[in-house]
């Protein structure tokens, strides 16, 4: 995500930290996993250096999913939460200017998508997506509602735990990492075939946001903290970079 030399030395990737591409309990991986040796494709200069993301690309409510799809100022339905954290490198240094995009289901577990098959209803005041740019210390924050779990056609009775998708862009569109955030205390995390592809509990826990009651807004919103580590042996698990970052 950056060409700067890491402070404190080079950190080797730990490929065993990340899920294998082929995991039969996650049926889609059977068709998607590579059947031949992987190739490393060098990035061009234009891919690495541009475009540069700036605050001028953001709308006033891009980081407020409770209101950014409302037509008349009516709030989205569901438990109100704030998610905050930092995007950091392997040494804990904040990564400034990273574009963080998020998308999620509504409180009933229904995505606003043309091919959504779950019978839970749509919320007319919830679009389910937003974005924010990290500050000088790598910090980000957005407001939303807690998404609901939903069934999916993997095995007979598989359900996804409540989660929010994250996309982190570096200096250009080619520098993109995608992951998911789960919620502390959700028992469904440990029953999900997708989560179960991660080899260790410690790795799974990098995907779990912690409830920060000290930061909660009384009579308004609970607060969850979710830090994203881009590189190193214990990087956050990224679904589009199984070999590490």
Q: Note if 110 is an active site residue.
A: no
Choose, from 140, 163, 224, 231, the residue flagged as catalytic. 163
Q: Note if 150 is an active site residue.
A: yes
pTM greater than the 0.75 cutoff: yes
Q: For the chain, which residues score pLDDT lower than 50?
A: 1-8, 244-245
Residue (of 2, 6, 21) closest to 242 by Cα position: 21
Q: Write down the pLDDT at residue 11.
A: 63
Q: Note if 69 is an active site residue.
A: no
Q: Write down the pLDDT at residue 234.
A: 77
Choose, from 165, 176, 234, 241, the residue flagged as catalytic. 165
Choose, from 18, 110, 143, 160, the residue flagged as catalytic. 160
Q: Write down the pLDDT at residue 244.
A: 47
pLDDT digits 0-9 by tens, 105-159? 999 999 999 889 899 999 999 999 999 999 999 999 999 999 999 999 999 999 9
Q: Which domains does the chain have, with CATH numbers?
A: 15-30+53-229 (2.60.130.10)
Residue (of 78, 83, 69, 204) closest to 148 by Cα position: 78
Q: Note if 111 is an active site residue.
A: yes
Choose, from 140, 150, 182, 224, the residue flagged as catalytic. 150
- For 57-175, where are the E strands, in sequence order? 80-88, 99-104, 129-133, 139-145, 150-151, 159-160, 163-169
Q: Note if 160 is an active site residue.
A: yes
Q: Write down the pLDDT at residue 4.
A: 44
Instruction: Provide the total of helices (H) and of strands (E) in the chain, helices listed first.
Output: 3, 11
């Amino acid at each position: 995500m950056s060409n700067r030399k890491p402070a404190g030395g080079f950190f080797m990737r730990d490929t065993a930290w990340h899920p294998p591409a082929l995991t039969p309990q996650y049926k889609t991986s059977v068709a998607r996993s590579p059947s031949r040796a992987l190739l490393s494709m060098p990035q061009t200069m234009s891919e690495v250096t541009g475009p540069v993301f700036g605050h001028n690309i953001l709308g006033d409510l891009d980081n407020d999913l409770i209101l950014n799809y409302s037509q008349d100022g009516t709030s989205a339905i569901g438990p109100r939460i704030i998610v905050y954290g930092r995007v950091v490198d392997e040494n804990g240094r904040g990564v400034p200017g990273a574009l963080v995009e998020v998308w999620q289901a509504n409180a009933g577990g229904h995505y606003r998508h043309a091919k959504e098959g779950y019978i839970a209803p749509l919320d007319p005041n919830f679009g389910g997506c937003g974005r924010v740019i990290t500050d000088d210390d790598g910090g980000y924050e957005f407001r939303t509602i807690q998404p609901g779990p939903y069934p999916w056609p993997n095995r007979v009775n598989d359900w996804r735990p409540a989660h929010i998708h994250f996309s982190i862009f570096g200096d250009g569109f080619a520098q993109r990492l995608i992951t998911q955030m789960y919620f502390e205390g959700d028992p469904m995390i440990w029953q999900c075939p997708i989560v179960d592809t991660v080899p260790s509990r410690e790795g799974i826990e990098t995907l779990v946001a912690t409830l920060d009651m000290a930061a909660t807004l009384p009579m308004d919103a609970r607060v969850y903290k979710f830090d994203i580590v881009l590189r190193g042996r214990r990087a956050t698990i990224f679904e589009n970079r199984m070999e590490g970052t």
